[in-house]
């Protein structure tokens, strides 16, 4: 089929289903203890059980200019003392690169912000396409009680800058409230 090792790409198709995604690329798994520092508080039960918070299935694409990377993320439901499970979030290392998300299942928010201090939260779910412009960091939050599943595509050479987000965080955190969700200034 296709090679990640430098052979010329040919058109191809991959399938996914409810029970398994076979994208033939990297499979990234983030467990609670890997990313617990991104949450405001810690939870000893989660530390002990160390559940998978999210996993990513990438296409078999080389990370080079001209290619498009695609992937599916499954972000599981749950909270850390009320703060919804979320992804680490990142800027692109090549900042002038955009990204498109297509919601497949569940319901979530994409938190977006720029280094100039702008902040937006947009909904993702089935039948919703989210456009993340260049220069905007992005983090996904699952605000539903089922896995949030979405497809993403972006320039394959974009790279991931997690460090800036780790240092500065996102402007707002999303908690479960009595009547829905709560935005909490961090």
Smallest distance from Fe ion to CB 99, Å: 5
The span of 43-51, 96-104, 106-114, 118-126 binding Fe ion (CB under 5 A) equals 96-104
Give the shortest CB-138-to-Fe ion separation in angstroms: 6
Q: How far is the CB of 106 from Fe ion (least distance, A)?
A: 19
Instruction: Rule CB under 5 A: choose which of 89, 99, 150, 156 binds Fe ion.
Output: 99
Which span sits near Fe ion by CB under 5 A: 35-43, 54-62, 74-82, 93-101?
A: 93-101
User: Nearer to Fe ion by C-beta: 83 or 99?
Assistant: 99
Q: Give the integer Cα–Cα distance in Å for 174 and 82.
A: 9
Smallest distance from Fe ion to CB 71, Å: 9
Instruction: Verify binding: residue 58, Fe ion, rule CB under 5 A.
Output: no
Q: Which one, 71 or 143, has the nearer CB to Fe ion?
A: 71
82/159 with CB nearer Fe ion: 159
Distance CA 31, CA 103 (A): 22
Q: How do the residues of the chain divide into helix, strand and coil, expressed in percent and rounded to 5?
A: 10, 45, 45
CB 69 within 8 A of CB 11: no
Q: Helix, strand, or coil here: 175?
A: strand
Measured from the CB atom, the residue of 43 and 95 that comes closer to Fe ion is 95
Q: Within 10 Å of residue 47's Cβ, how many Cβ atoms? A: 11
SS3 166: helix
**Distance separating alpha carbons of residues 186 and 180, to the nearest angstrom:** 19
- Least gap, CB of 152 to Fe ion (angstroms): 7
> Measuring CA to CA, how many Å separate 143 from each of 15, 100, 122, 175?
27, 20, 12, 9
Residues at the contact surface with Fe ion, assessed by CB under 5 A: 99
């Amino acid at each position: 089929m296709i090679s990640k090792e430098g052979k010329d790409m040919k058109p191809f198709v991959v399938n996914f289903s409810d029970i398994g995604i076979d994208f033939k690329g990297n499979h990234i798994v983030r467990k609670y203890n890997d990313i617990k520092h991104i949450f405001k508080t810690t939870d000893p039960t989660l530390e002990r059980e160390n559940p998978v918070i999210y996993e990513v299935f990438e296409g078999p694409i080389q990370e080079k200019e001209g290619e498009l990377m695609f992937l599916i993320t499954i972000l599981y439901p749950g909270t850390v003392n009320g703060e919804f499970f979320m992804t680490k979030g990142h800027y692109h290392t090549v900042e002038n690169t955009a990204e498109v998300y297509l919601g497949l299942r569940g319901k979530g928010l994409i938190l977006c912000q720029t280094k100039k201090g702008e902040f937006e939260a947009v909904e993702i779910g089935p039948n919703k396409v989210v456009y993340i412009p260049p220069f905007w960091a992005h983090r996904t939050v699952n605000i539903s009680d089922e896995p949030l599943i979405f497809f993403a595509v972006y320039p394959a050479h974009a790279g991931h800058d997690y460090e800036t987000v780790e240092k500065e965080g996102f402007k707002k955190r999303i908690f479960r409230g009595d009547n829905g969700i709560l935005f909490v200034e961090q």
